[in-house]
Amino acid sequence: MKLLAPGVWRLDQFPGPFVNCYLAGDVLIDAGTRGDRGRILKDLGDRALSLVTLTHVHPDHQGLAAELCRKRGILLACHAGDVAAMEGRAPMNEGQADNVVTRFATRLWAGPPHPVGRVLQEGDEVGGFRVIHAPGHARGAVIYFRESDRVAICGDVIRNMSFLTTLAGIKEPPGFLTYDPAENRRSIRRLAALNPALILPGHGPEVTDMAAFKRFVDQLPG
């Protein structure tokens, strides 16, 4: 695992950070895809976990959540807006359920439904981070923000890589996988308003160049 900030690690992935899972103390933030089982279990080893919490309920972020919660006897947390999707009562990609990429990703990557034991709301605290509702990519998408050092774990509000080349670069999430791109841009601006010092996205390496992030935000449409 790579230590990114005090008490915050990114789980390993070869050849690089493509689908990110973070450990904040004893809280796992995001659970990869079903296919990430080997690398996640290897990295976690026998570490004690108190909670699995999600930035949003999409197949590449909830894949191992049910298994970890069952085996560890711990609760699963996500925002109220994504509870129905996590529990199998709504599609994971709202408004994009019939997209061929969504169907493929769900079939290949998604883990099974699981009861949400802790329903998150704006302002809740998880592992020393404040929950900030940031919808657009998913109805229940959140940012986890730590005031003390301004670390933001943002899920797919932004990404820091090209899915075609895997090269680093700050981008919006793909429009065809985002139920409301305009709402997500408002969430990106909300992220910027936090004045983060370090951004840990769901895909790609950590964002440390805040001037580049500001330029990206400034050129967003709308």
DSSP string, 100-151: HHHHHHHHHHPPPP---SEEE-TT-EETTEEEEE--SSSTT-EEEEETTTTE
pLDDT along the chain (222 residues), means of 10: 97 90 98 94 95 97 97 98 96 75 82 97 97 97 98 98 91 92 97 98 97 97 84
**What confidence tens digit (pLDDT) does each residue in 32-59 have?**
999 999 999 999 999 999 999 999 999 9
Domain 2-218 belongs to what architecture? 4-Layer Sandwich (3.60)
pTM for the structure as a whole: 0.95
Domain range annotation of the chain: 2-218
